[in-house]
Each structure stands twice: as C-alpha cells, then as structure tokens.
Structure 1
C-alpha cells in the first residue's frame, strides 16, 4: 500500500486511526514518496492491520454504526476498553471546530486542464465566493476557482455579519464531520445568510441549511458512503440520481 502526498485534500491529516485488512511492505507507484505506514508514523496516527475487515463490515450491516477503540496500552483490560467505547458518542459532539481553519485566507489554486469539461461561465474574479470551512476538501475549492471565482475561506465560527461585509456573490457551507445539531452556532450563521445572499451547502453544509430552514437531522443507522441514490423532485416528479456521502 502506498501513499501519495499530492493527493491530500486538507491542510493536514485529521485521521484519528486506521484499520486495514493488509499492509504491503513494498511500494511501486511511480508517484509514491513514502509508504502508508511511514506517513502515519510521521503524523503520530495510530493504525492496525491484519484485521478481518469483512467480518467488521458484516457486523456493521447488521447493527449499524458502532464505536470501536484502538489501544496501545497493553495493561488495559478488555472491560476497560469496552467502557471506553461506551462513554464516547459522536452524537452531540462538535467535531468541525477541530478541523476548521483558524483565520480567513484566499484560495487561488485550480484543477488541472485535464479536469476541465465545461466552458467557464465567467472571467476570473468576476464572482466572489465565501466558503465556510467545516473540513472542506481542497478539490471543492479548486473546482470553484476553475469556474472563475475569487474565493475567501473562513473559519466555521466566522460571524455572518463579517461575511456580509465582504459583499460576496455567494456563500458555500462545506462538507464536514460529526453531528450538525451539535454546532448551533453554524446553524445561526446560515439563518443570518438566508435571503441576503445566495447559499448552498455540501454534506454537513447541506444539513445545516436544512436545520436553518426548520428541518431536523438524525444519525442514520447506515451512512451513505459513495452510493448512488435516486432523488425525486416533488414539484415535477422527475427523478435524478445523486452521489451521496453522509
């Protein structure tokens, strides 16, 4: 297994742990700069392999998302590890504040020419987009920049009033992790934006928009990870296929 550092989609790796079926000791990809094991070790990220991931998958299909514990402290008993898993819950925990940027910055990088399959809708810089960072993927920013937009990325706690002072042409609420109901401050930001500037949300951002409009969210038994799901437009009954990762 190899790791290509130019494939990173955030400023750093926020991974807490990695579970793998097998870990190759050889690397062969011509772009490879280090092995996955070396990458994790340099960043002090815990990992485990030689695990029957198929058995874990079957268990998750039956019981839904479960809490697991990776541990290097050999003196801990099985009972102590089980108690650790029982005392942690993703529901109600603010996770986006730990992955968001800490200060606004400008984004200018675009995707390569090989990815350009549409004509640009405007000249560079004609539209100013403010992107709220809830754990945003760099390729989202690249694609927006490739459409000719000037982009300002702001932290998850950035006040709506400060964003409106920038007079953006649109606001993006990015993808993120965790429970949207655990970040009421972000919901309030969306509420203050509605009707004043065009907005759209991706993943976490989309759920925050839903809450700002009076909707409710809850944790699904199974997350939608890269699956294609039909979505029906209730206005015209037209069905389209969407790729959802939530």
Structure 2
C-alpha cells in the first residue's frame, strides 16, 4: 500500500492514498471498512486509473474529535480529499454506507462527479429490517466486539463462501482485524447507518449512475429500490453477498469498467 497523505477537513485530519495513473476514481468504504476490504478492486483499477481511497471519520488513520457523524460531514471529507489530490472531476464509487455518502457528494457537487457507482446501497437506514440489524450491531459493539465481527462475516458473505473458508479462517480474519479497528469510530458509523436518509438527494443526481445489487445480500435488501429511485440509472447484479469484494471483486471491476467506458465517464 502507498504511504498515506492527510488533509484537514472541518477539524478532522483525513487520511487518504493514491495509486496508479489516469482518470481518477474515488472509493468510499462501507461501515468499519479499510482499503484491504476492496480486495482486488484497487490494484485492478490502478492499472489504468488514479485510484484514491480514504479513511473517513471513524476508520483507519483519520483522527477527529469524536463528534456525532453525518452524511454531510463525510461528504465534505470526500470532497476535501479530492481537492487535496488536485482533482477537477472524478468517478465516484461507494459501498453500503459509502454509497449513501457518494449519493450525498454527487447530489451537491454535480460538476465534480463524472459518474457515481453505488454498490449494496440503501436509501433509508430506519427501514424496519435494517434498523433491527443496525441496533443489534450497536448492542454487540458495546458488549462483544468479536461477536460483532463474526456476525458481520456470517451475514455479509454467502453461506457457500463461509463454508468454503472454514471456521478456522473466519476466526483468523476476526483476530486479524481486531488490532486495526477504531471501535468508537465504528460505533459512530453504525449510528449514522441508522440515520441515513438520502431519498431527497437521489432526485438531484445528474451524473451517470450505476447501481450494483449483491444477489445474496443478507444485510441490505433495498438496493433495487435505490436503483429505481435514481432517474436513468443502470442496474446490475453480481453473484455475491454484501461484502462483495471478498467474493466477486473481479466481476465488479468488469461491470464498472464497462459502465465507465459506455458512458465515457473516464474520458475527460
């Protein structure tokens, strides 16, 4: 991984990384995610593009004052990173909570965003099933963090994939992540998951939009409805659970590359 750079946005010191060369793609993580969770996506895209990944508040190397998070706060951090990287425009990719952040960015900054891709995205965090899930996450984060991670893997990956990995590998993944986690930050991110409401913002998206649904998603089931609410969006499905890049990173890169090429979103 390249060395991190930082930019101060609204008092937070936001860490980001740049790889590759060519038209810029900015990646926005989901809840509790780090660069490693993009799997093969970053190295594959970096062969022909400048790939920028960031740790928004609550994750990785970013340091803030611990305040309650909002989509506006995280969207400002994405824009701040893009400006610090010298980007005049960029393609934007967001996963799960990162998809909501990306929608916020695209709705308010149409001149900056060439295209938006939302993977496993949701418009409303208080939808009853999602609310039940996020509240369970909060309970586990306060009581048993390892159990939270095991549940995330169990529901985020397909049963076939989990069985193929085996219990030992799952436990190794949990143990390997524990030292890197910003537990207070993750809790704040899950509280933001509950507060997400981008139903108004989706109507303001002017950029070409790709919405990717994970066919076996046991966490987010709203993605098809999200696609229907974005005028003119392209809807695609990949054979994966919510943690798509563990199972279908290459399939996703193929979809994204085709979408960008068809819309000429990366040609400027």
Give the TM-score of the pair, scaled to structure 1.
0.29
Where is the helix percentage greater, Structure 1 or Structure 2?
Answer: 2
The structure having more radius of gyration, on CA atoms, is 1
Give the TM-score of the pair, scaled to structure 2.
0.27
Higher RCO (C-alpha 8 Å, min separation 6): 2
